[in-house]
Structure 1
């Protein structure tokens, strides 16, 4: 009788094991219930496999959460979960989910710092970015520079225009430090290979001139030509007389138009009033503008005027320049 009961028990256990194995195989082969665009899952610090499997089940993405925990233990992944935000694409199977969440390949976001932006414009975009952790909101510029490790420095022009990729939760401080380091790197490399005889005493003066070149340039190919005009003006002791510096000095008073009185208004940035470079950069210059400032085009041009198609007409004499102004600006 005992042997018969034992045989029955073995038979039942065999049936259960076979059933369980088939269920497990079905679990392994069946993708999670994911929408066509997949899902974003934020794996927080301290998340265990039990919590992970339970959350996926609660969201209706996973059946049989116990099997996911067993699979993780079998694959030695139960203690390998890495914090971050992950994208789980449609069609992902349980083993694929574990591979994703232990890979550390978190979702990357992007923010493009546009060449010619001011620091104010960059901070506005940074503050609006939904993946950036905000810690600098409404702080004055001086405090922001102190937080990133560069107290007493003016922020304008200090951050390199580029597209930066980063995971969710990156702080604004970390972002600014990265863009600052990149600008320092580019400046140092370009300064090392600069042309000889330039009237620029430091990388900061290069940054100032490059920012003016950036704001004056409509066509990228004209950067060296415009830089050449400004370099020759500095060498001759002429005022730069460039409108973007006037606009920067006007600040919030600029309404889209420059009037004759604005050209005469004495601000530290008005290059119609003051000789030499502005006290600080007026924007964030691109690497190309920095290169142009240190490798200006040779020539005799001392003036230029916008032609209305994004480019400029360059003149070597004031008489020629005045004719170009009448032709392109006054339409005479």
Structure 2
């Protein structure tokens, strides 16, 4: 608008003072002035920035603190033994600028921390759960490495990359965990207080174990290493075979822990249950069973060429299933493949569960 008005005014003044040539010059000068005024009023770029950190804030790190020793399973608070300056990542969002309006640029800052947290005297079998400021961490969403604290462990590659080859301590004899690029926004852009559930078997039972039977054999997707999702409604779902935050599935969490506690394990018997429905042998049918007749799931349940519609529906107690269902065939095949990949000899162990009505027989 200012461009039009000043262009007309410039032409009028220029015509009065300089005739036709003055009018041309006046219109050009007015147009330039108007464009500049429009840009300052309606156009240009407005910039805003989110809060930035002035310095890194770390969790507790006390020199000379005693090193804990764990027997069995215990939750242990950690101490920072190494860290770096926070990594700052700037993200700029641009919007507007069309139709002559101003363009708005908003820059926000995210922070990531690299930290090594000392835990206890080693060697340990492993770590189960991890808490940050008292809230359990989903370890599948973080880059982390656990060091068991034996006398042969090597330096962490991140620490060595930052400190230089040959300058990074291996912390032998100390169990510790390293987090790489841990997002800090949820903790107010500071390193949270880390505590871990430590596994350290006492005695020789676990370490001398050579063979194991894997139960229960009644869980529709419980033996599947892959997560299976059930769609509950619009935009809502759940993973039916994941009840932990330290592995992608319950199977993976259990087998990882088993391998850590029993490194000498050689054989595994995998129990898979079908259901009998009558105590009289001549009338008893053996069929795979399910907990519910219909479920909208990413991996359709199927056992022995039978789908949900044709399977035995297990009895219920207090509104819930009295048994877990028969493991899905595809999940069983993946479980066997996973056991073999872990170096174990696998025995398939068919099992019969009797689900009979009252008064039968």
Q: TM-score, normalised by structure 2?
A: 0.25
More helix by share: 1
| Bigger Cα Rg | 2
